[in-house]
């Protein structure tokens, strides 16, 4: 499956017809959203915690270059290696060089969106290095030769029944009698994965946070696979976006509370693992530790008016709560980063013209901003990107919006339009005998193809106001 961000409209139309996807999203995204709200409300001051988290991230961004240098000096001071990478080719080349230097042939990887962003696994395979995904969702995606559809829950698009069929067909799992048992499938995958940790030469992780004051990389996982991927192999490579740095442990303390609550409704992620470098004298841990600091377009975002997008802690809450994501799922966005924050990050990372429909894939209802644990102003940035992309829109669309702008800023025109619409809607209901309008001509059929339009009121609000309040 190839991801194409410019094909959003076509992909979303197909996704809307997919009943299996709808079932999966109903079970996944909506229940995660409910869990988030319950968990955030448990805290004594949910908004205070959000603002504290926001402050920590914005402070980090304002001091980003210095904090990154601090990370580097702290890690190299303990014998670790820090490499910088401008783009995805450089990251991949760094990793391949490390593999060659240490004769690494097989690696295990815990979940990391940045390694999806740079297409690491296919790149290494092309160069003779095998890599196994160990996060259960990522493992399923790898077996399915597909892509994650969510930044926290990679198989948000799949039902447990579909995973069962995949395991039976691709991994020879004995078919289950009766209802599909997710625990049984997890045990099956776990048995396969356990042996692989012992065979692996190296482990690759991402990083949820980097704490500058001590040079510590932190990963948060729920399955323990992060610890096994880093503790057993002889080399650990952490691939982390430069925006993941926070200045202090205190800031980390705030964010590590909000991340799991916002992501899955948990009070704490099950495993919070911290890495300061390679094994020291006592011999515990990997022989070599590499941190690769990934730019890949982030500096451009940093220098733009969209810097705030880099405050994202990748919790996925804005995806789960978004009415668009809840209906079309992640693959429709054609990017590793779907949903509201993906509609900002993707055009900024890939070039706006390569992902031009995405900033328009939003109702601007504001649910994303309300859900975000660091209060990122997603709707404002979507509007900014729409403005930047206005020349990418079709002339008819632009003309329509111009007409809309003129009509809505002129009271006489607005009222005349409302009266004509009311008369037309009255005529429609009289002629068809229907209570609601269920079919409009193009281009207005975009509305009635998916929902009915209530008829206009006989009396407009303006008329009512003049009659009752003047």
CB within 8 Å of 2: residues ≥ 6 apart: none
Per-residue DSSP letter, 55 = H
Give me the least distance between CB of 388 and ligand SF4, in Å please: 19
* Cα(261)–Cα(341) distance, integer angstroms: 18
Binding of residue 316 to ligand SF4 (CB under 6 A): yes
Residue 322 or 350 with smaller CB distance to ligand SF4:
322
Q: Residue 261: which of 106, 130, 373 has the closest Cα?
A: 373
268-297: which residues touch ligand SF4 (CB under 6 A)? Answer: none
Write out the H or E segment, with its range, that includes residue 407: helix 395-408
Give me the least distance between CB of 320 and ligand SF4, in Å please: 9
Task: Among 313, 324, 349, 358, indicate the residue that binds ligand SF4 (CB under 6 A).
Answer: 313
Q: How many residues bind ligand SF4 (CB under 6 A)?
A: 14
Per-residue DSSP letter, 43 = S
Task: Among 373, 381, 385, 389, indicate the residue that binds ligand SF4 (CB under 6 A).
Answer: 373
Give me the least distance between CB of 57 and ligand SF4, in Å please: 9
Binding of residue 374 to ligand SF4 (CB under 6 A): yes
Q: Which tokens sit at 67?
A: 């904090």
Interaction mask 98-137, ligand SF4, x per CB under 6 A: ----------------------------------------
Binding of residue 361 to ligand SF4 (CB under 6 A): no
Binding of residue 312 to ligand SF4 (CB under 6 A): yes
Residue 256 or 313 with smaller CB distance to ligand SF4:
313
**Which among 214-222, 236-244, 273-281, 372-380 is the span making contact with ligand SF4, rule CB under 6 A?**
372-380
Residue 53 or 107 with smaller CB distance to ligand SF4:
53
Give me the least distance between CB of 337 and ligand SF4, in Å please: 9
Residue 29 or 124 with smaller CB distance to ligand SF4:
29
Judge whether 132 and 196 are in contact, CB under 8 Å.
yes
What are the DSSP E strand ranges found in 6-105?
A: 81-85
Pairing of strands 216-221, 130-133: unpaired
Judge whether 151 and 340 are in contact, CB under 8 Å.
no
Write out the H or E segment, with its range, that includes residue 74: helix 64-77
Task: Among 228, 315, 349, 358, indicate the residue that binds ligand SF4 (CB under 6 A).
Answer: 315
Residue 315 or 348 with smaller CB distance to ligand SF4:
315
Give me the least distance between CB of 315 and ligand SF4, in Å please: 4
318-357: which residues touch ligand SF4 (CB under 6 A)? Answer: 318, 341
Binding of residue 148 to ligand SF4 (CB under 6 A): no
Task: Among 71, 118, 220, 376, indicate the residue that binds ligand SF4 (CB under 6 A).
Answer: 376
Residue 210 or 315 with smaller CB distance to ligand SF4:
315
Residue 156 or 317 with smaller CB distance to ligand SF4:
317
* Cα(343)–Cα(2) distance, integer angstroms: 18
Sequence-ordered alpha helix ranges (H) in 248-366 = 249-264, 298-302, 317-321, 323-328, 339-350
The DSSP line for 93-144 is HHHHHHHHHTT--EEEE---HHHHHTTHHHHHHHTT-EEEE-SHHHHHHHHT
Give me the least distance between CB of 86 and ligand SF4, in Å please: 24
Q: Which residue in the block uniquely carries the two structure tokens 């992060």?
A: 226
Q: Residue 371: which of 40, 49, 60 has the closest Cα?
A: 40
Give me the least distance between CB of 36 and ligand SF4, in Å please: 9
Residue 224 or 379 with smaller CB distance to ligand SF4:
379
Task: Among 5, 60, 91, 317, indicate the residue that binds ligand SF4 (CB under 6 A).
Answer: 317
CB within 8 Å of 137: residues ≥ 6 apart: 111, 148, 153, 154, 155
Residue 85 or 318 with smaller CB distance to ligand SF4:
318
Contacts for 459-464: CB closer than 8 Å, 24+ residues apart? 460/415, 460/418, 460/419, 460/422, 462/415, 462/418
Give me the least distance between CB of 253 and ligand SF4, in Å please: 17
The DSSP line for 345-403 is HHHHHH-GGGSTTGGGS----SHHHHH-TT---HHHHHHHHHHHTGGGS-HHHHHHHHH
Q: Residue 150: which of 32, 61, 20 has the closest Cα?
A: 32
**Which among 79-87, 102-110, 130-138, 368-376 is the span making contact with ligand SF4, rule CB under 6 A?**
368-376
In whole angstroms, how far apart are CA 106 and each of 56, 99, 260, 386? 38, 9, 31, 44
**Which among 294-302, 322-330, 373-381, 452-460 is the span making contact with ligand SF4, rule CB under 6 A?**
373-381
Give me the least distance between CB of 258 and ligand SF4, in Å please: 9
* Cα(407)–Cα(410) distance, integer angstroms: 5
Give residues in contact with ligand SF4 (CB under 6 A): 262, 312-318, 341, 371-374, 376
């Amino acid at each position: 499956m190839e991801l194409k961000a410019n094909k959003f409209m076509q992909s979303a139309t197909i996704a809307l017809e997919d009943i299996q996807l709808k079932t999966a999203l109903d079970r996944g995204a909506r229940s995660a959203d409910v869990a988030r709200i319950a968990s955030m409300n448990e805290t004594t001051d949910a908004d205070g915690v959000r603002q504290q988290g926001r402050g920590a991230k914005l402070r980090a961004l304002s001091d980003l270059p210095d904090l990154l240098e601090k990370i580097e000096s702290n890690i190299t001071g303990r014998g670790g290696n820090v490499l910088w990478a401008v783009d995805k080719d450089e990251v991949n080349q760094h990793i391949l060089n490390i593999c060659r230097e240490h004769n690494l042939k097989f690696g295990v990887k815990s979940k990391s969106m940045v390694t999806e962003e740079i297409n690491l696994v296919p790149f290494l395979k092309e160069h003779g290095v095998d890599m196994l995904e160990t996060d259960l969702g990522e493992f399923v995606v790898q077996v399915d030769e597909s892509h994650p559809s969510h930044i926290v829950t990679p198989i948000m698009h799949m039902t447990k029944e579909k995973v069962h069929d995949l395991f039976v067909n691709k991994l020879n799992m004995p078919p289950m009698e009766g209802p599909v048992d997710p625990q049984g499938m997890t045990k099956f995958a776990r048995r396969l994965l356990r042996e692989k940790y012992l065979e692996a030469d190296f482990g690759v992780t991402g990083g949820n946070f980097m704490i500058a004051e001590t040079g510590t990389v932190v990963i948060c996982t729920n399955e323990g696979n992060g610890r096994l991927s880093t503790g057993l192999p002889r080399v650990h490579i952490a691939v982390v976006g430069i925006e993941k740095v926070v200045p202090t442990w205190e800031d980390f303390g705030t964010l590590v509370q909000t991340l799991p609550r916002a992501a899955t409704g948990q009070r704490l992620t099950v495993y919070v693992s911290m890495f300061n470098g390679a094994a020291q004298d006592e011999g515990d841990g990997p022989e070599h530790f590499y941190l690769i600091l990934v730019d890949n377009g982030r500096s451009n975002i940093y220098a733009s008016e969209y810097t705030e997008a880099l405050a994202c802690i990748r919790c996925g809450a804005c995806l789960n709560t978004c009415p668009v994501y809840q209906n079309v799922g992640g693959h429709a966005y054609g990017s590793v980063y779907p949903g509201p924050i993906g509609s900002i990050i993707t055009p900024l990372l890939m070039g706006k013209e390569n992902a031009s429909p995405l900033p328009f894939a939003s109702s601007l209802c504001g649910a994303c901003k309300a859900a975000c644990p660091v209060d990122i102003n997603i709707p404002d940035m979507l509007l900014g990107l729409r403005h930047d992309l206005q020349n990418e829109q079709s002339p008819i669309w632009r003309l329509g919006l111009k007409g809309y702008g003129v009509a809505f800023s002129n009271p006489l025109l607005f009222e005349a339009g409302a009266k004509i619409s009311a008369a037309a809607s009255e005529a429609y209901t009289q002629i068809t005998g229907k209570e609601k309008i269920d079919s409009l001509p193009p281009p207005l059929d975009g509305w009635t193809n998916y929902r009915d339009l209530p008829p206009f009121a006989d009396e407009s609000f303006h008329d009512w106001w003049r009659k009752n309040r003047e």
